C-alpha cells in the first residue's frame, strides 16, 4: 500500500476576492520547509459534568473548529508577497518611475551626496532608491541606497559607508551622464483584508485539502549567523474542506526559482540609526498582526476575522564593543533599525525598516573569546515618518 512521502508534499495558494472566495483556480506553488506545520483543524471538546450512577463519563461533543496553517520557509525574494500583504492588510506600493538621463556629481567621504537637476523629485529621507548608469571607474555608486536627506537637486546617503572601516563606499566624480534614480516599492500597515485559499496536497496518494478565508496572523524572521534567513508564517482560516481525491486547483503556477537568502551574503547589513554596523551577530523579528477568529452562536466555523492592534518585537545579539547600548537602554533612548537582506549577487532583496525601537534591559553572555549583548526590543509608530512599526522595501 502506498504511503505519503514528505518529499512529494505540495502547498499552493491563490488570493481571494472576498473572505472565503478564491479569485480564480490558478494556484501558485509555495516553497516551504519540511518542518512546516501545514493545515490543521483543532476542535474544542464539550463535556457535561452531570452525575452518573455508574461513574461513566458523559458523552463528549465537539465545539468550534479552529482552522490553522503554518508555513516555515527560507526568505526568498518573490516567494512571500501574498503572505506579507495578508499580514500587513495592504498591497505593495509599486516602485516609482525612474528619473533618467541625469548628469550627476558625487561627493564622497563624510558628505556622501549625489547631485543632479531633478534627482530628488518625489524622494524623501528614509526612502530606498536604486541608482544605475555610473560606468567604470565609478560603478560603486550604483546599487540600492537609503536616502538620509533630500533637498532640491541633492540626495544624501549617510549610510553609504563600509560597516567595518567606516570609509565611504561612494566614488567621487563630476558630471557623469546617463545616471538613473528610482524609488523602490514598499509595504506599510493597512486595514484592507487580504485573504487566500490554501491547497495542501499529498500528491503521491492523491489526498487534497483546502483552507478558505486564510489570513496571516503572525510572522517570524530569523537572522542566524552563517545560516539561511528563515521566514515563518502562522495563519488562521474561515473553513477547511476535504480531504478529497482530486485537486481544488484547476492549474498551478510555478514557484519562483530565486535562491534563498543567506545571512552572510555581502549585501546583508544591519543599520542602526542609518549607519551600517559590523557588530551585529544574530537577530529575530516577530510581527503579530493582532488577528483572531470570531465565532457566532449556532455556527462551528468562524464567521469573521477580528482586526486588533499590531505588535512588533524582537531580539538583537550584538558583540559588546563599548557602553553605548547599555547607556541608551538605561536612558530609555529609542533607535532605528534597518535589516537589509539581499541575494548573493546583490540583485534583489528586502529591507525590513523599523524607524523607532524601544530597547529593553539587556543580558550579557560571556564566552572565552567574546561577550555579546542580548537586547530585546519593541517597535513603535514613528511620528516623523508615520511608519506604523515596520515598513518593508522591495529592492530589485
- Give the pLDDT score at 35: 82
Per-residue model confidence as pLDDT tens digits over 204-216: 899 999 999 999 9
The pTM score is 0.92
- 262-280 per-position pLDDT tens digit: 998 877 889 999 889 888 8
Which residue bears the cell 470570531? 294
- The residue assigned the cell 461513574 is 55
DSSP string, 241-277: EEEESS-S-SEEEPPP-PPPPBTTSTT-EEEETTEEE
* Residue limits of CATH 2.30.110 in the chain: 6-92+188-262
**1 pLDDT tier (thresholds 50, 70, 90):** low
- 383 exposure class (CB count in 10 Å sphere: 0-12, 13-18, 19+): exposed
pLDDT at 160 over 70: yes
Cα end-to-end distance, the chain, whole Å? 48
C-alpha 57/C-alpha 63 separation (Å) is 18
Q: Give domain 6-92+188-262's CATH architecture.
A: Roll (2.30)
pLDDT (average), residues 220-229: 94
pLDDT value of residue 368:
82
In sequence order, which residues have a C-beta less than 8 Å from that of residue 233 and are 6 or more positions away?
Answer: 70, 71, 73, 80, 83, 87, 216, 218, 219
Q: Given a cut of 90, is residue 378 above it in pLDDT? A: yes
What digits encode the pLDDT tens for the residues 302-338?
999 999 999 999 999 989 888 888 888 888 889 999 9
Cβ atoms of 390 and 189 within 8 Å: the answer is yes
CB half-sphere exposure, 230, CA atoms < 13 A: 20
Query: What per-residue confidence (pLDDT) applies to 147?
Result: 97
The answer to whether residue 151 scores a pLDDT higher than 90 is yes
Q: Which residues pair with 230 in a beta bridge?
A: 74, 222
Alpha helical stretches, state H, the chain: 81-88, 324-331
Does pLDDT of 2 surpass 80?
no
Note the pLDDT of residue 234: 97
The pLDDT tens digits of the residues spanning 54-110 come to 888 888 889 999 999 999 999 999 999 999 999 999 999 999 999 999 999 999 998
Residues 354, 352: Cα–Cα separation, whole Å: 7
List, for residues 169-179, the tens digit of each pLDDT value. 999 999 999 99
The CA-based angle 165-274-190, given to 5 degrees, is 150
Q: What is the mean pLDDT of residues 18-32?
A: 96
- If pLDDT is split at 50, 70 and 90, which confidence band does 384 have? confident
CB 311 within 8 A of CB 357: no
pLDDT confidence bin for 153, thresholds 50/70/90: very high
Read off the pLDDT band of 360 (50, 70, 90).
confident
The per-residue pLDDT of the chain, averaged, comes to 93
Strands 26-29 and 251-253: parallel
Average pLDDT score over residue span 389-394: 97
Pairwise CA distance, residues 236 & 382, whole Å? 29
- Rounded to an integer, the average pLDDT of 345-368 is 90
Residue 286's Cβ-count burial label (10 Å; 0-12, 13-18, 19+) is middle
Residue found under cell 482560516: 237
Amino acid at each position: 500500500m502506498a504511503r505519503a512521502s514528505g518529499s512529494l508534499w505540495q502547498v499552493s495558494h491563490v488570493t481571494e476576492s472576498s473572505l472565503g472566495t478564491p479569485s480564480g483556480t490558478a494556484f501558485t506553488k509555495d516553497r516551504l520547509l519540511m518542518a512546516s506545520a501545514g493545515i490543521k483543524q483543532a476542535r474544542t471538546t464539550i463535556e457535561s459534568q452531570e452525575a452518573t450512577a455508574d461513574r461513566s463519563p458523559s458523552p463528549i461533543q465537539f465545539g468550534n473548529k479552529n482552522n490553522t496553517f503554518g508555513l516555515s520557509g527560507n526568505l526568498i525574494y518573490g516567494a512571500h508577497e501574498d503572505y506579507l500583504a495578508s499580514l500587513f492588510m495592504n498591497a505593495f506600493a509599486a516602485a516609482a518611475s525612474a528619473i533618467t538621463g541625469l548628469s550627476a556629481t558625487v561627493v564622497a567621504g563624510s558628505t556622501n551626496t549625489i547631485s543632479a537637476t531633478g534627482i530628488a523629485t518625489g524622494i524623501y529621507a528614509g526612502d530606498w532608491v536604486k541608482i544605475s548608469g555610473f560606468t567604470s571607474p565609478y560603478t560603486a555608486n550604483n546599487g540600492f541606497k537609503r536616502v538620509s536627506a533630500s533637498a532640491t537637486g541633492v540626495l544624501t546617503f549617510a549610510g553609504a559607508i563600509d560597516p567595518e572601516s567606516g570609509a565611504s563606499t561612494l566614488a567621487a566624480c563630476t558630471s557623469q551622464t546617463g545616471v538613473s534614480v528610482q524609488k523602490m516599492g514598499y509595504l506599510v500597515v493597512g486595514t484592507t483584508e487580504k485573504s487566500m485559499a490554501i491547497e495542501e496536497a499529498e500528491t503521491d496518494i492523491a489526498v487534497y485539502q483546502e483552507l478558505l478565508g486564510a489570513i496571516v496572523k503572525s510572522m517570524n524572521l530569523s537572522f542566524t549567523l552563517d545560516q539561511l534567513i528563515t521566514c515563518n508564517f502562522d495563519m488562521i482560516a474561515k473553513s477547511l474542506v476535504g480531504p478529497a481525491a482530486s485537486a481544488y486547483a484547476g492549474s498551478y503556477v510555478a514557484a519562483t526559482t530565486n535562491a534563498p537568502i543567506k545571512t552572510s551574503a555581502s549585501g546583508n547589513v544591519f543599520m542602526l540609526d542609518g549607519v551600517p554596523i559590523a557588530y551585529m551577530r544574530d537577530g529575530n523579528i516577530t510581527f503579530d498582526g493582532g488577528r483572531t477568529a470570531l465565532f457566532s452562536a449556532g455556527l462551528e466555523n468562524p464567521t469573521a476575522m477580528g482586526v486588533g492592534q499590531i505588535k512588533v518585537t524582537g531580539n538583537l545579539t550584538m558583540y559588546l564593543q563599548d557602553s553605548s547600548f547599555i547607556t541608551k537602554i538605561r536612558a530609555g533612548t529609542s533607535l532605528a533599525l534597518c535589516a537589509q537582506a539581499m541575494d548573493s549577487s546583490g540583485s534583489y532583496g528586502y529591507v525590513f525598516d523599523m524607524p523607532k525601537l524601544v530597547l529593553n534591559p539587556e543580558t550579557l553572555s560571556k564566552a572565552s573569546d567574546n561577550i555579546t549583548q542580548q537586547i530585546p526590543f519593541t517597535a513603535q509608530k514613528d511620528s516623523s515618518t508615520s511608519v506604523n512599526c515596520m515598513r518593508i522595501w522591495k529592492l530589485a
